[in-house]
Structure 1
Amino acid sequence: MGTLHFDSSDLGVTEDFLSRHYARMRIGNGTPESSRARIRREAMPGVSVDELDLDFDMRYAVTPLQKICLCVVHEGTIQDHSFGDVVEDAFGPGDVVSFAPPELPYEGRICGARYNITMLDPGLLSQVAATAPGAAPGPVRLTGHRPVSDAAALHLKRTIVHVRDHVLADPEIASEPLVTSTAAQHLAASVLAAFPNTALIRPTGTDRHDSHSATLRRAVAHIEANAQDPLTVAEIAAASHVTVRALQYAFRRHLDATPLEYLRRVRLAHAHDELRDADPADATVTAIAARWGFHHSGRFAALYRAAYGRTPLRTLTGT
């Protein structure tokens, strides 16, 4: 985890800062009316979320970052953006895009823009996506740089804002491993839902055959024994000796839930036990919820009330 702040009106200092912390940049010639740059970065394992506000024009040329790099434009424009041999595009306010595949360089021009850059480890996509049985191993890839729909783009933007404002903005919450791993998976799932990609969704015949009750029992046992640790769907599937899709199909078939929904139920039960047994003088609902991966207090309270018919605070205080 980490936070980075930058605020300067010296174009030389800004150019050096951008080149050191992002990629090679060249601020345009001439004297802009304003030369101020404001940058804030929040980061957790596998994910960083940056807000940049630049009052001037500049060009950028980025060597392969080996990361998924998403951009949400708030104001201004990003022009002449290109990667690969044929892709060239321009982005304006409201646009959300994937800048380039992790292994490709890209370049373009920023024109007095305020925008968000969210970067994540490509391996997160494979953790939440199914892969075909017997296929050659390899990462899940995005196959387009524009979202599949306006609704998918809006959902992704809301997810980025949620991670930025409700996870990374609170150091106490961001220090909880279950919170950060869950938030990273949620972001990766939103990316896969937003952009065309190589992940397969429908279970194959083999997956359906493997989705029997024994698979479910192995998965449930693994979840219940390791609920205190960061868990991914891929790790649960590996412990159950089946593909991710077979695991998902087994849970849907037998429990009408996803593996992560069941994991959330188990963690909610652990939070309930801890609230019931804790001394209210030494514990808080927020701390116990975060310890079990629930970083949004309102959502935790709603889930808890639905499951136990009372608020978490009443359980903690014994009232």
Structure 2
Amino acid sequence: MMGSAGPPRQTRFVSSEPDEARDFIGRVYDSHLRVGNAVSGGMWVGFDRVEFGDVNLSAVRISADLDFRMEGGDQILIATVKAGRVDYVRGRDSARYGPGDTYLGSRSEVRWDARLHGPDLDVVGLPESLLHEVAGTAPDRSGGHWRPLSWQPLPGCAAQWRTTARYVRELFEGPQVATEPLILGAAVRMLAATALTIFPSDVLPGPSATDRHDAHPATLRRAIAFIESQPHLDLGVADIARAANVTSRALRLTFRRHLDTTPLAYLRRVRLDKAREELGRATAGDDRTIESVASRWGFADPSRFAERYRDEYGESPDRTLRR
């Protein structure tokens, strides 16, 4: 659950002073980063970041050539080059990235050196703990330890990453949902799930024998009881699995086997019921709107909320509100 992260925070920085720019970039990336001297005269840095908890999305523009060194920390960095060039050296491996390329810029236990040539980058930082949680590979659970097998996404998947990152950034910056923990938490997990999808890894592809054994009706009852008692909290699959005392894979298999759905689809249905109850309690003069109620229960898109509402209840949310 990420509800304690608070609303997203924004940081903007612009400077043409080389020392000031180096100090700022060094602080942003903490002690894992050492910024070398510019290798061509002059420097201009523009930095625009939005953060939610340990997740951050940054637009970075540097009108100079810079040398970087980073010791792998507890975040992975996924970068997309919009302009300029980035040359990487990671141990014996080297790579060059240009406009349109998306790549895994950093992960734990890997030191790298890079030379950035007038880069314009979109960079997403995700804590590895979040990736383990979404992948269901927490250290105390079976299923393997998530570790990427490539620095580049699977063929044809880079556009999916760019679309997802842009959507999440727009959510973080939107005034209506910027304070809604259910929407923000789901967006962060969607970002992590997309990263897990596009970068090949050594995570086991399916449930283990233990997971299949645990996917029984008692597990389903525990999970449903937890969901129905806590729908107002920012819940992910890992939270529900912990409450049911099984792995995330076992939980998914349980819902598929017994209800032909997913844990999160079941959670969304419970929240939809709660939204309907709230719309039905509205009285003349109170400040409830369809958009505010939908956002409060984790539905970021009012039009999709209305469509699903009509499919489920045979009437529009506006009719419920006016009744």
TM-score in terms of structure 2 length: 0.89
**Residues 218, 48 of structure 1: CA spacing in aligned structure 2 closer, same or farther, 3 A cutoff?**
same
* Contact residue 143 and residue 203 of structure 2 kept, 8 A: no
Shift of 1:297: 2.7
Aligned residues: 312
- Higher deviation after alignment, 201-210 or 225-234: 201-210
- Higher deviation after alignment, 101-110 or 37-46: 101-110
For 2:76, the equivalent position in structure 1 comes to 68
**Residues 180, 203 of structure 1: CA spacing in aligned structure 2 closer, same or farther, 3 A cutoff?**
same
- Pick aligned residue for 1:122 from 100, 103, 128: 128
For 1:48, the equivalent position in structure 2 comes to 56
Output the amino acid matched with 1:31.
G
Residues 29-44 of structure 1: pairs in structure 2 closer than 5 A: 29-32=39-42, 35-44=43-52
Residues 201-280 of structure 1: pairs in structure 2 closer than 5 A: 201-279=205-283
Shift of 1:243: 1.9
**Residues 130, 21 of structure 1: CA spacing in aligned structure 2 closer, same or farther, 3 A cutoff?**
closer
* Contact residue 130 and residue 200 of structure 1 kept, 8 A: no
Q: Quote the Cα distance in structure 2 between the aligned partners of 1:132 and 1:52.
A: 32
Asked if 1:20 is matched to 2:27, the reply is yes
Q: Quote the Cα distance in structure 1 between the aligned partners of 2:210 and 2:281.
A: 45
Shift of 1:314: 3.3
Shift of 1:196: 1.3
Shift of 1:215: 1.5
Structure 2 segments unaligned to the other structure (5+ residues): 1-7
**Residues 279, 135 of structure 1: CA spacing in aligned structure 2 closer, same or farther, 3 A cutoff?**
closer
For 2:5, the equivalent position in structure 1 comes to none
Q: Quote the Cα distance in structure 1 between the aligned partners of 2:96 and 2:238.
A: 36
Q: Quote the Cα distance in structure 1 between the aligned partners of 2:283 and 2:75.
A: 44
For 2:115, the equivalent position in structure 1 comes to 109
* Contact residue 143 and residue 204 of structure 2 kept, 8 A: no
Q: Quote the Cα distance in structure 2 between the aligned partners of 1:58 and 1:279.
A: 60
Deviations 1:20-69 (A, max 9, x none): 2123223423435xx43221100112310001122222111123331011
Shift of 1:280: 5.9
Output the amino acid matched with 2:238.
A
Residues 161-180 of structure 1: pairs in structure 2 closer than 5 A: 161-165=166-170, 167-180=171-184
Q: Considering only aligned residues, what root-mean-square deviation do their CA atoms show, in Å?
A: 2.2
Output the amino acid matched with 2:253.
Y
Deviations 1:154-174 (A, max 9, x none): 222211111101x21124412
Residues 117-196 of structure 1: pairs in structure 2 closer than 5 A: 117-131=123-137, 139-150=145-156, 152-165=157-170, 167-196=171-200
Shift of 1:299: 2.9
* Contact residue 14 and residue 45 of structure 2 kept, 8 A: yes
* Contact residue 214 and residue 250 of structure 2 kept, 8 A: yes
- Higher deviation after alignment, 267-276 or 277-286: 277-286
**Residues 131, 108 of structure 1: CA spacing in aligned structure 2 closer, same or farther, 3 A cutoff?**
closer
- SS of structure 2 residue aligned to 1:71: strand
For 1:302, the equivalent position in structure 2 comes to 307
Shift of 1:147: 0.9
- SS of structure 1 residue aligned to 2:277: helix
- SS of structure 1 residue aligned to 2:74: coil
- SS of structure 2 residue aligned to 1:174: coil
Output the amino acid matched with 2:45.
A
For 2:202, the equivalent position in structure 1 comes to 198
**Residues 132, 61 of structure 1: CA spacing in aligned structure 2 closer, same or farther, 3 A cutoff?**
closer
TM-score in terms of structure 1 length: 0.90
Q: Quote the Cα distance in structure 1 between the aligned partners of 2:49 and 2:268.
A: 29
Between the aligned residues of both structures, percent identity stands at 37
**Residues 220, 163 of structure 1: CA spacing in aligned structure 2 closer, same or farther, 3 A cutoff?**
same
- SS of structure 2 residue aligned to 1:28: coil
